[in-house]
Each structure stands twice: as structure tokens, then as C-alpha cells.
């Protein structure tokens, strides 16, 4: 007996992605034997739970990798592959994004058949988000043949331009679906792990993701800052709208790293670049968020680890003489949600788009609002917040605002978020005093990741020509 895990009209490529990780010894993804514990026809709300959970975990998973590239994190081991831009295998991350899109595809298909348009909207929007993680990491990837009614083990790769257009189309279609007045089923508030069934928040999130999508092509001639601002007009009203995943267990995966680190299972060390960014060394002003990101070392100071350099302290790695992810930080406590997109991030998107549009007053107001919202997220005291903002190097006035200042502040606001790597590449890693990793194997900063081994093995005839990992993605060049 075959148990139906995913819609059998969809490409069986999805099952091939990482079958050895999940179904070793079985047939293809659809042929898993007579297992009475498997759900043969998952309900729409069961799929809603799966899609929202997978998406949140992918935000963490991809954010974790990008955090080494954008130098939020550094390895305590000298010459770590991720630190020095050596080739790493992200087959699991690749597969998990496709598993999320697979569940979304099933939900969309079943929802369209039953008129559950709100589930269609969630499915299409989260497909767009997961597809953007893949395309922003690898540039091109399978999509059209991977999600089609023609079964294939070896789908062709869509071009990065095709993927970008697909993402935009999915976002627009999600917005239409959310606007439906005749949906046959509500979103279950207990199984929607992102917005708790609140359709208005989903609509605002859709417009926020659209603004992200439109702003990403800032180097292209087609970039339209007014279109970005128009999308933002319908996006978040406050941090209450944040796109974030609640957790089943109450154990934030970032906090899990911090807990493991405290138990001498090393990970989650903060990069010297990040620490210098906020402890006063780089900009001559202490950012009060530093005390809400990490803890003082045993020496009573804030010290980071240089990427590629490993532990710099004179003592063993287990001595807290360098800074780590902290369970005392509001964004990495055990009970914190996984943040996917936030109000403060979108205020900096607004600041950038308005600046590029020549709307200096709007840009400056959004820039300051983004700082305040970020301070609130980190639970910085009002007096410390106001003192920081009052500094002449922060409150520069509308006429003196620069893109460098906007990106400088956004870098802190997007701590541990994958989107920070998109920003670093769009900004050409132009943060003040930003250093290449020690012992880097590339001549300049990393801009993409090598094709996963799973694809090299399973789909060799379609993978694109491998290029140097410092080669810009299509949207990262004029």
C-alpha cells in the first residue's frame, strides 16, 4: 500500500532531494510502505502548521549560515570553513526549503479545490519566501519543473531572473487570495504558527515581503523606489505585525546554541566585527543594544572573535573571555520567537527607498523610527535609547543622512537574520572597518554558496556551471 505524503501530481523530484536523510532503505518519496502511523490525507490546517513551522526553522537555518558571512558569528576554531569562505555542503538547507515548498504546494492544491483561499494565500506567500532563500543563496534553482504536473527526477534550473519574477507573482497572488471574501475555511489560530490566524497581519506581511522583493534590485536599472514605498504603505503598522514563528517547545534554536555553548559544546560565538560595531570601537559611540545582544566577558568587557582566527583568549575555549549568543538577550531567549521579518527592518527599507527617491525628510524619519523600534525589540531602556539617538553621529539631520548610516543601523536591527546578507551584498560589504576573514580562500567577500552535493549527485546534468563564490548574484550587479 502506498501512503500519500505529498500530492502525486507534483514532481517526484522533491522526494529525491534528501531521501537518504529521511527514508533510508525505502523507495521513492511516495513509496514508503504500509505505515499506519502516517497521515494519508493531511488536513489543510495540519499543512498550515507544517508550512509555518518549516518556514520559521528555515529562517533560522539560513540565517545561521549567513550570520558567518555577514560576521554576526565566528567560529571558535581557527580556519573554520564557513568563516574563511571555503566550500561547505548545504544539502540539508536546500532540502528543507524544498520540503517547505512541497507542503505549501499540497496546501495550495487542496485549498484551491475547496475554496479555502486564505490557505492559498499563506501557501503562496511562504513558497515565495522559501524560494527567495534558495535563490538568494544559489542564484538559480529548480522551480518550474520541480513543481509541475510532469514527473521528473531531474528538473531543469530556472534562471535567477525567472525565479525573481516567480517570487513576485506568488506574492501578488497571495495578496489577491487574502482579499477573498468567500473563503470556505478560516486559518486555525492555534496551527498558524506565524500570525495566529490573523488575516490582516498576513496581508501586511505580504506587502512587507513585496517591499523587500522590490528593494533587493537596488543595483538594477529597473529599481523603482516609489514602488517599494507604495508596498510599505500597506505593510507593518508596528512590531505587533512582525512575521515571527512561535515555538512548540518554547526553546528558541538560537537559545539552544547558547545553552550548548554554556555546556562546552561550542557555537554561537560573536564576531569581532559585530562587537566592534556596537561596543564603541568602530564608531566611537557605545550602542546600548550591545548589552541586550550579549553578556560581559569574565573580564568585564565586550570582545568578539575574528572570523577565521578562532579563539583569541589566553585560556581555554570554555572560559567566557569572548562574547557569545546569550539567553539573556530578548531576541535569543528560550521563549523568544524566530523573527523572519520585523517592523524595524521595514522602517530601514523605507529609509533606503525614500533616500534613493530623493525624499530626504521621509528617509530621515524612517531611519530614526527604525532605530527606536530596534531599541524596543532589544528592550533597551528609554534613557539609554534617547542618549544614543541624541548623539550627533546618529541624529545627523535629514540633509546629512547617508546610505552608509542607514545600512549601519540596519545591520544591528537585522541581527541573525538572513536578510542581513542580502544587505551586505547590496551594500558591497561597505560597513566601516569591515574586515575580510583571516585566512580567507577568496580574494574578496563571499556572495554565493556552492551547489549542494545532493544536487551534484542527483541532478548533475542540470546544475549550472560552478563559479567562484565571490561572484555576484544577478541582482547584485548592474
pLDDT digits (tens, 9 = 90+) for 188-221: 999 999 999 999 999 999 999 999 999 999 999 9
Contact by Cβ (8 Å): 405, 308: no
Percentage helix, strand, coil for the chain under 3-state DSSP, each rounded to 5: 45, 5, 50
Q: Quick one: pLDDT at residue 150?
A: 73
242 and 339 in contact (C-beta within 8 Å)? yes
**Rounded to 5 degrees, what are φ and ψ at 440?**
-60, 140
The set of cell numbers assigned to 286 is 557605545
CA distances from 402 to 351, 367, 392, 407 (A): 10, 10, 14, 9
Fold assignment, 13-20+44-249+448-457: 1.25.40
pLDDT recorded at residue 38: 34
Mean pLDDT of 31-45: 50
Give me the pLDDT at residue 303, please. Answer: 96
Higher-scoring residue by pLDDT: 206, 14: 206
CA distance linking residue 343 with residue 346, whole number of Å: 5
In 3-state terms, what secondary structure has residue 242? Answer: coil
**What percent of the chain has a predicted confidence (pLDDT) above 70?**
90
Q: For residues 303 and 300, what is the distance between their CA atoms, to the nearest angstrom?
A: 10
Please tell me the distance from the alpha carbon of residue 394 to that of residue 413, in angstroms, as a whole number.
15
State the average pLDDT for the chain. 90
The Cα–Cα gap between 350 and 362 comes to 8
> What is residue 214's predicted lDDT score, i.e. its pLDDT?
98
Q: Pick the residue with more confidence: 56 or 258?
A: 56
**Spatial distance between the Cα atoms of 122 and 208, rounded to a whole number of angstroms:** 14
Q: How large a percentage of the chain has pLDDT more than 90?
A: 84
In total, the chain counts a number of residues equal to 478
pLDDT in tens, 398-434: 999 999 999 999 999 999 999 999 999 999 999 999 9
Of 33-37, 163-167, 174-178, 240-244, the poorest mean pLDDT is in: 33-37
Q: Whole-model pTM?
A: 0.92
Helix (H, G, I), strand (E, B) or coil at 270: strand
Phi/psi of residue 380, nearest 5 degrees: -75, 140
- Evaluate the CA torsion angle 414, 214, 61, 51 in order and state its sign: positive
Interatomic CA distance for residues 135 and 130, integer angstroms = 9
At 238, the pLDDT band (50, 70, 90 cuts) reads very high
* Boundaries of every domain in the chain: 13-20+44-249+448-457, 250-286+295-336, 338-426
pLDDT of residue 315: 63
Residue 10 has pLDDT above 70, yes or no: no
Name the CA radius of gyration of the chain, rounded: 22
* Residue 319: pLDDT band with limits 50, 70, 90: confident
Tell me how far apart the alpha carbons of residues 147 and 155 are, in angstroms, rounded to a whole number.
Answer: 9
Nearest Cα neighbor of 97 from 449, 464, 460 is 449
Alpha-carbon distance of 441 to 81, in angstroms, equals 9
Query: 170 and 130 in contact (C-beta within 8 Å)?
Result: no
Q: pLDDT: is 364 or 17 the higher one?
A: 364
pLDDT band for position 89 (cuts 50, 70, 90): very high
Amino acid at each position: 500500500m502506498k501512503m500519500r505524503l505529498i500530492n502525486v501530481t507534483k514532481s517526484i523530484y522533491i522526494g529525491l532531494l534528501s531521501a537518504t536523510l529521511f527514508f533510508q532503505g525505502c523507495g521513492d518519496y511516495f513509496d514508503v510502505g504500509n505505515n499506519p502511523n502516517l497521515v494519508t490525507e493531511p488536513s489543510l490546517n495540519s499543512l498550515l502548521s507544517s508550512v509555518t513551522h518549516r518556514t520559521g526553522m528555515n529562517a533560522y537555518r539560513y540565517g545561521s549560515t549567513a550570520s558567518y558571512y555577514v560576521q554576526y558569528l565566528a567560529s571558535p576554531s581557527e580556519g573554520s570553513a564557513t568563516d574563511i569562505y571555503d566550500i561547505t555542503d548545504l544539502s540539508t538547507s536546500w532540502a528543507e526549503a524544498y520540503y517547505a515548498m512541497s507542503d505549501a504546494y499540497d496546501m495550495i492544491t487542496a485549498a484551491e479545490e475547496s475554496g479555502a483561499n486564505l490557505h492559498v494565500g499563506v501557501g503562496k506567500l511562504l513558497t515565495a519566501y522559501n524560494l527567495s532563500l534558495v535563490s538568494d543563496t544559489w542564484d538559480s534553482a529548480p522551480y518550474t519543473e520541480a513543481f509541475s504536473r510532469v514527473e521528473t527526477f531531474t528538473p531543469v534550473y530556472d534562471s535567477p531572473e525567472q525565479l525573481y519574477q516567480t517570487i513576485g507573482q506568488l506574492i501578488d497572488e497571495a495578496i489577491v487570495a487574502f482579499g477573498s471574501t468567500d473563503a470556505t475555511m478560516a486559518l486555525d489560530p492555534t496551527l498558524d504558527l506565524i500570525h495566529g490566524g490573523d488575516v490582516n497581519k498576513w496581508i501586511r506581511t505580504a506587502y512587507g515581503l513585496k517591499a523587500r522583493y522590490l528593494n533587493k534590485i537596488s543595483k538594477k536599472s529597473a529599481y523603482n523606489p516609489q514602488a517599494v514605498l507604495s508596498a510599505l504603505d500597506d505593510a507593518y503598522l508596528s512590531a505587533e505585525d512582525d512575521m515571527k514563528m512561535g515555538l512548540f517547545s518554547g526553546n528558541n534554536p538560537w537559545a539552544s546554541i547558547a545553552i550548548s555553548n554554556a555546556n562546552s559544546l561550542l557555537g554561537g560565538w560573536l564576531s569581532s566585527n559585530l562587537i566592534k560595531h556596537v561596543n564603541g570601537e568602530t564608531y566611537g559611540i557605545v550602542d546600548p543594544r550591545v548589552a541586550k545582544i550579549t553578556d560581559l566577558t569574565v573580564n568585564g568587557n565586550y570582545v568578539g572573535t575574528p572570523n577565521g582566527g578562532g579563539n583569541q583568549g589566553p585560556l581555554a575555549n570554555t572560559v567566557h573571555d569572548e562574547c557569545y549568543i546569550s539567553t539573556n538577550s530578548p531576541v535569543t531567549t528560550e521563549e523568544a520567537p524566530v523573527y523572519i521579518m520585523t517592523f524595524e527592518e521595514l522602517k530601514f527599507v523605507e529609509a533606503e527607498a525614500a533616500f534613493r527617491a530623493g525624499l530626504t525628510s521621509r528617509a530621515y524619519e524612517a531611519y530614526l523610527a527604525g532605530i527606536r523600534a530596534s531599541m524596543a525589540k532589544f528592550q533597551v531602556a528609554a534613557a539609554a535609547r534617547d542618549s544614543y539617538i541624541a548623539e550627533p553621529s546618529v541624529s545627523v539631520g535629514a540633509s546629512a543622512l547617508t546610505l552608509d548610516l542607514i545600512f549601519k543601523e540596519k545591520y544591528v536591527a537585522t541581527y541573525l537574520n538572513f536578510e542581513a546578507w542580502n544587505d551586505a551584498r547590496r551594500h558591497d560589504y561597505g560597513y566601516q572597518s569591515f574586515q575580510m576573514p583571516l585566512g580567507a580562500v577568496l580574494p574578496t567577500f563571499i556572495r554565493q554558496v556552492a551547489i549542494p552535493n545532493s544536487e551534484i549527485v542527483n541532478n548533475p546534468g542540470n546544475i549550472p556551471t560552478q563559479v567562484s563564490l565571490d561572484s555576484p548574484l544577478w541582482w547584485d550587479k548592474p
